[in-house]
Chains A and B, each alone.
Chain A
């Protein structure tokens, strides 16, 4: 299974296995990852699966929908240039090794 590297709010770096086709938020929540909520279950409604993407990977991600763009205005830690909602990032083989950092808080 492809691996995603995630730095969680405590500073710990974890490896997350994400099945191809699965949104990264879902895999992180199922694994009980600290620092991610995903309250709305992946409908891009709650802004609580906010991630910061390593610059080198930014261009390789799927384009952002208008909806995700709007919802990033609602995150607890203000959005940055490399902010995404991890419920909108479905795993692909090409994303093997993706580097993500979780913001300090989601709510």
Chain B
């Protein structure tokens, strides 16, 4: 009997090879142009790469569920590498309760109170890198800033913050296949996981930080104490590597587009929009999955229950059906509707703090740096779901 898999286009690709992690855009085009939904034989997987279908899958949480994992592994049949996230790997009604609490804590109103502190840090950082002039955009800016301000805001001690990088790398590698990248980042699983869990306790966190706000919600009975620790873990898993990658990517992009940087330098008020366009242009999260919780349909194609569906976020962000001149980085574009933070009820809960960090860094640079020049080749850091960077040699020319 002919099945649905025989009726849809097959794309014979492995998105998790080093080559495609380095340069995914041709593969994106292949998937997008094959059809609204395609099939990847190697992983027995459905894939969507057009904006409309990616958006449709991500916003239809009733059909495309998250509780079976948002990576390649199907938690109905495989054990997750760590206890499931009660935020990311959950469905309503359980999800709604915790999402409401954490949304409120991460709301624009609460974040506004952190703005002055973040701005002061950014100015100090930019003064320091300008003195050096020759910098590694990854170590000196992209890692330095989020690793300082975000854990400070959560209330984490200064010691041992490199564990956050290792843990984030693990979490995002674990969303892909069990390949070498996964195995290598899992080698340190035990010590890093216990460091993280030890720092999710109320006692480990500074009073007044975002972490303590979560425990206060537990004190009020909105969630329980164990859930509070799990939500702090969500902060520590998802809040660092992602922002670092977002900043590294925009620095590279601006260095490669001097005319666009000149517009930002001339008008630092473009900082927020520039960061946003950078997120569209190089999606920091590239791949995220859903599982069909019941028989589903994508663009007229029927899909059985219990199948994994891969959404290619970076591909949706460059779909010519949605964007004019999608491969052009344009700081004057209004990129609202990109799916770098996902969409719908599971849309990244830290997206407003990520935007604030990116905006503040770019604004501080725009004011004091005349040009950002590449002085060598950047090196990608390979991760199964993140468009991350290892190094980025830059020269910053003062204004």
Whether A43 contacts B344 in the complex (CB less than 8 A), given A71-B107, A74-B107, comes out as yes
Cβ–Cβ contact B104 & A70, under 8 A: yes
Whether A67 contacts B99 in the complex (CB less than 8 A), given A46-B108, A47-B108, comes out as yes
Give the complex CA separation of A39 and B276 in angstroms: 9
Give the complex CA separation of A75 and B336 in angstroms: 18
Give the complex CA separation of A66 and B222 in angstroms: 12
In the complex, identify which listed stretch (B118-126, B288-296, B345-353, B368-376) lies at the interface while the others stay far away: B345-353
> Is B339 an interface position by the 8 A CB rule?
yes
Cβ–Cβ contact A71 & B347, under 8 A: no
Give the complex CA separation of A93 and B345 in angstroms: 24
Number of inter-chain CB pairs below 8 Å: 66
> Is B302 an interface position by the 8 A CB rule?
no
Cβ–Cβ contact B337 & A29, under 8 A: yes
> Is B103 an interface position by the 8 A CB rule?
yes
> Is A84 an interface position by the 8 A CB rule?
no
Residues of A near B28 (CB, < 8 A) are none
Give the complex CA separation of A67 and B93 in angstroms: 13
Counting contact residues on chain A (CB < 8 A from B), the size range is 20 to 34
Counting contact residues on chain B (CB < 8 A from A), the size range is 20 to 34
Chain A minimum-CB-distance residue to B109: A74
Cβ–Cβ contact B355 & A39, under 8 A: yes
> Is B215 an interface position by the 8 A CB rule?
no
Chain B minimum-CB-distance residue to A44: B103
Cβ–Cβ contact A70 & B100, under 8 A: yes
Residues of A near B347 (CB, < 8 A) are 40-43, 45
Give the complex CA separation of A39 and B342 in angstroms: 13
Residues of B near A66 (CB, < 8 A) are 100
Give the complex CA separation of A38 and B100 in angstroms: 19
Cβ–Cβ contact A41 & B336, under 8 A: yes
> Is B106 an interface position by the 8 A CB rule?
yes
Chain B 170-194 against A: per-residue CB contact (8 Å), 1 yes, 0 no?
A: 0000000000000000000000000
Cβ–Cβ contact B337 & A71, under 8 A: no
Chain B 77-115 against A: per-residue CB contact (8 Å), 1 yes, 0 no?
A: 000000000000000000010011001101111000000
> Is B64 an interface position by the 8 A CB rule?
no
Whether A42 contacts B59 in the complex (CB less than 8 A), given A29-B337, A74-B108, comes out as yes
> Is B343 an interface position by the 8 A CB rule?
yes
Residues of A near B352 (CB, < 8 A) are 40, 45-46
List 4 extra interface pairs beyond A70-B104, A74-B107, CB under 8 A.
A43-B345, A65-B100, A67-B104, A74-B108
30 pairs, CB–CB < 8 Å, chain A vs chain B: A26-B337, A30-B337, A38-B337, A39-B276, A40-B341, A41-B336, A41-B337, A41-B338, A41-B341, A42-B343, A43-B341, A43-B342, A43-B345, A43-B347, A44-B103, A45-B103, A45-B106, A45-B107, A45-B108, A46-B108, A46-B351, A47-B107, A65-B96, A66-B100, A67-B99, A67-B104, A70-B104, A70-B107, A71-B103, A73-B109
